[in-house]
Amino acid sequence: MVQPAREDDDQLAARIRGLEARVSRLEQRLETDTAPLLEMASCPPASPGPAALVETLSAIPVLGISMLGLAGAYILRALTEARVVPQAFGVFAAMVYAALWLAWAARIPASRRAEAVVYSLTSALVVGPLLWESTVRFLAISTWTAATVLLVFTIFGLVISWRKNLLIVATIATTTGVLTAAALLIGSHDLAPFLFLLLAIAGAVEVSACLDHWLTERWLTAAAADLAVLLATYLVTGIEGLPASYVLFSRATLLASQIALPGIYLLSILVRTLLRGSTFTAFETGQLATAFFLAVGGGLRLSGDPRIAPAVAAVCLGCGACCYAAALFGKQGNSRIYTSFGFALIVIGTRVGLPDAGQAIAWSVLAVIAVRLARPLSRWHACGYLLLSLAASGALGYSARLLLGSTDARGTLLPLLAGAPIALICYAFTFRVQPRHPAIQPIFAGIALWLLAGITAAALPAFYHAVFGAQAPHAYCATLRTMVFVAAAVLLAWLGSQRRGLAFTPLIYAVLILGAYRLLLIDLRHDNKAALVLSLLLYGAALLLLPRFLAPRQTAAR
């Protein structure tokens, strides 16, 4: 009995020794981890005052160097103004002097950001006043020379900032180019050089954006280019024309700038989305819409030259085709924006470049093509093209007058006879293209029904008068047109009960509402009671028949 007790005591002692060893190791580890924290707590906090003071003192020499740089620029200006050196040489020397300051700013390490800003601003303060005085005040250089020099300076700032990705240097160089160009555009009264300068700067920034550089600067150059094109369009196409103080600016030059603006941004966006794999940004969507608005709206204001409208139409159609192609081959996230731009540009180009008959034919063909594409948004575009085609041909309006008018509508049935097969073809294609959209089929079916009902509403009164003579009461013509709505509702209900997948229920209710409108507001106005009673009987019979066809569908749906 003594031996087991001793074994238990030995096991208990071994467990105690193991616990003591674990506690000892934990204490050693805790002391090792907390030693640095205790040392940091024991040290007094560093005072921010001396560091801030040193930073302030180090900025003073930078400002001093900048002042000396500006003084050197004024010395060069004084020598040029006093004719000590030729004016052309003085301008060239000053531009080289400013470029050296910009290059100095680009060579500064990224940690010395304030120094780079000061030296870049020094370069900008040399370039801006120098070009203004040389171009506007002294007339030492031409406006085209000033625009060329300013473009070289801006591109130089972008290039020297490329390797280190110095955003501040590139931003100051671009801002200097844009603001100086805007000031010279207004002050020199010469639109062409500085308008194309701003477009060139915008193009240079977009090239950089295609390579993922200077993305934040795009809004500045885009806004400057937009405003320049808008100002030039306003001055040239105004009521009084270009003011006499401005240099002659031709309409062809204005049209070229209007076309160049959307061309720059469409090409840039195509490269970024198709080749670089980026997604449409809010800036790109808004800027592309603004550029096309200025191009199309401004181009249409140039109505003096008969060649301008075809040129605008060709540009819109070409850009619209590019947008549709980009939607087919680009990322799915960009396809909606591309197809929306494509639809708008194709519609505008067709509207501007073709007569009404040509528009109707072109939009009908586009509706058939669009409904065949396996993209949901293209089917909505097909609806838009079809409606635009029927509106241009007059089919929609003529059918409305036949079905809802109080008198016989005058017109030709040719637009209805041509539009109805196109609508039926589009409706048939909606069953073949996958996936199906539940709202598209009723729309195409409704368009086809509207045209067929219009044809029937024209044929029945003509047959009635052919049988009973031209002097037969016209009240029965109204009854026959009400009967068209009644028969359409019953036919739709019967077709829906015979075949599943035909979503006619919304159309049935729409047809009944239009029939009630005609019955109450048109048929009741006629004095012929027999015709009115016949209309009421037909409408009441339809209301009795419809539940018999709709009930099986509702039961199956449950």
In a domain, 183, yes or no: no
Q: Are residues 370 and 420 in the same domain?
A: yes
| Domain end (from 403, 435, 467) | 467
Task: Compute the Cα dihedral for 375, 380, 386, 388 and give only its sign.
Answer: negative
Q: Which residues contact 516 (CB under 8 A, 6 or more apart)?
A: 539
The predicted structure's pLDDT at residue 107: 82
- Token digits for 186? 């207004």
| Domain end (from 406, 436, 467) | 467
| Domain end (from 406, 441, 467) | 467
Q: Are residues 442 and 506 in the same domain?
A: no
In a domain, 104, yes or no: no
Q: Which residues contact 361 (CB under 8 A, 6 or more apart)?
A: 389
Residues in the chain: 558
Give pLDDT tens digits for 187-203: 999 999 999 999 999 99
The predicted structure's pLDDT at residue 438: 66
Q: Are residues 366 and 431 in the same domain?
A: yes
Q: Are residues 441 and 535 in the same domain?
A: no
Task: Report the first-to-last Cα separation within the chain, whole angstroms.
Answer: 84
Listed residue (219, 212, 130, 111) closest to 174, CA to CA:
219
Give the mean pLDDT per block of 10 residues along the chain (558 residues): 54 68 64 48 44 44 64 66 69 82 80 78 86 85 92 92 82 93 93 96 93 83 96 88 88 91 94 88 93 91 77 91 86 83 94 91 93 78 94 92 77 88 90 66 90 92 86 85 91 79 78 90 81 89 84 49
The predicted structure's pLDDT at residue 327: 85
Q: Which amino acid is residue 254, in one-letter code?
A: L
Q: Are residues 398 and 425 in the same domain?
A: yes
Residue 307 phi, psi dihedral angles, 5° rounding: -85, -10
Cβ atoms < 10 Å from Cβ of 166: 22
Cβ-count burial of 53 within 10 angstroms (0-12 exposed, 13-18 middle, 19+ buried)? exposed
Q: Are residues 492 and 462 in the same domain?
A: no
In a domain, 497, yes or no: yes
Q: How many domains does the chain have?
A: 2
Q: How far apart are CA 474 and CA 483, in angstroms?
A: 14
b/e string for 68-107 if b means 16 or more Cβ within 10 A?
Answer: ebeeebeebbeebeeeeeeeeebbeebbebbbebbebbbe
In a domain, 452, yes or no: yes
Give pLDDT tens digits for 444-464: 999 999 999 999 999 998 888
In a domain, 529, yes or no: yes
**pTM of the predicted model as reported, rounded to 2 decimal places:** 0.76
Q: Are residues 451 and 482 in the same domain?
A: no
The predicted structure's pLDDT at residue 264: 95
What is the span of the domain harbouring residue 401? 356-467
Q: Are residues 531 and 548 in the same domain?
A: yes
Q: Are residues 463 and 448 in the same domain?
A: yes
